[in-house]
Structure 1
Amino acid sequence: MVKLHNQPNFSRCGVYNLSSEIDALDARLISLLYSEPRIGVLESSRRLGVARGTVQARLDRLAARGVIRGHGPDVDPAALGYTVTAFVTLEIRQRFGHDPVSTHLKAIPEVLEAHTITGSGDLMCRIVARSNADLQRVIDRVMSFEGIVRSSTIIALESQIPYRVLPLVAAAAAGPGDR
């Protein structure tokens, strides 16, 4: 398995240095790691046709810049029995702020993500449940915190484009003039 040195903890929506450009080799390395997360540095260097030290240096640089984060398995909630996906917009009492609400949401396993948003709500959460009845239980638990005023829920019927990054990696490597 590829080892990253000094990997910082970046948020998915964090602010990054605008010089976070990647080149074609970075894109090929990311694509390889995405398709085979358990591949080692030596095997990566063999497949990419570059020195082992080059692969390790690239990995370290990509990790330090927050381009590559973690090596956990890609888990499908539906395979665990959580077949219902919903997006919940939350309005919070402003005197509470986002931090206490986020702490509350982190304690609910079915809340997979939460993002501060613009528009009519304050936070957007992606949650999963085992059924519609279970979804009601999860929403009730979310709403049990006094810092949350109201919620609006949208149930996803089907995923048309699942989470993906490889097209973005290819576009980033191509540069702004080649898109």
Structure 2
Amino acid sequence: MAVDALDTRILRLLIERPRTSVREYARLLGVARGTLQARLDRLERTGVIAGSGPYLSAAALGHPVLAFVHIEVTQGHLDEVGDALAAVPEIIEAFSITGAGDLLTRVVARDNGHLEDVVQRLIRLPGVVRTRTEMALRERVAHRMLPLVESVGRDAADRTR
């Protein structure tokens, strides 16, 4: 979906001021409330805006250990292993991947012992051949979308010139 300069400004405000009202966004952007609402509806309908919930901290929820667990799966069992991962609450993301392994999971834990317990649970899942775990030491770049939004907006502006 093409994102134009106004969309970029809207997305920036949503990221920087997520608890602001639609009326206030419209005022800040200098557009009619109806125009803003139509843009927001389109951005949601096309999947650019994929959610609006709060960003939660696993560390503040008592799970400060973060690891990435690569899972190798028996051929033909990717879907069933993927479905089984959804039942493990410490897995906060899982992706099928190329390269070494078949799945990459982002796992949080209370401590190293708890992480080991989670990994052992994964190893016991039917269809799992082996796992490889890499622990995160420090977050260097927090999850972010604003630089990408701004880049897409600049590219769109360049195409219209």
* Alignment correspondent of 2:58: 77
- Structure 2 residue 142 is the aligned partner of structure 1 residue 162: yes
2:98 to 118, 136, 139: 118
1:46 to 27, 38, 45: 27
RMSD: 1.3
- Structure 2 residue 79 is the aligned partner of structure 1 residue 62: no
Measure the CA separation in 2 of the matches of 1:76 and 1:24: 32
- Structure 2 residue 76 is the aligned partner of structure 1 residue 91: no
- Structure 2 residue 12 is the aligned partner of structure 1 residue 36: no
Measure the CA separation in 2 of the matches of 1:76 and 1:25: 31
Q: Which runs of 5+ in 1 are unaligned?
A: 1-19
Q: Secondary structure at the match of 1:152?
A: strand
Residues 76, 29 of structure 1: CA spacing in aligned structure 2 closer, same or farther, 3 A cutoff?
Answer: same
Measure the CA separation in 1 of the matches of 2:81 and 2:113: 24
Q: Secondary structure at the match of 2:92?
A: strand
State percent identity of aligned pairs: 48
How many matched pairs? Answer: 158
* Alignment correspondent of 1:13: none
Structure 1 stretches of 4+ with a deviation exceeding 3 A read none
- How far 1:132 sits from its partner (Å)? 0.5
Q: Which runs of 5+ in 2 are unaligned?
A: none
More RCO (CA 8 Å, sep 6+): 2
TM-score, normalising length from structure 1?
Answer: 0.84
- Structure 2 residue 3 is the aligned partner of structure 1 residue 22: yes
Q: AA paired with 1:90? A: I
Q: Once the two structures are superposed, what CA deviation does each residue of 1:85-131 show, in whole Å capped at 9, x if it has no partner?
A: 001111001132x2211111001111011111111110111110010
* Alignment correspondent of 1:135: 115
Q: AA paired with 1:73? A: P
- Structure 2 residue 123 is the aligned partner of structure 1 residue 152: no
* Alignment correspondent of 2:153: 173
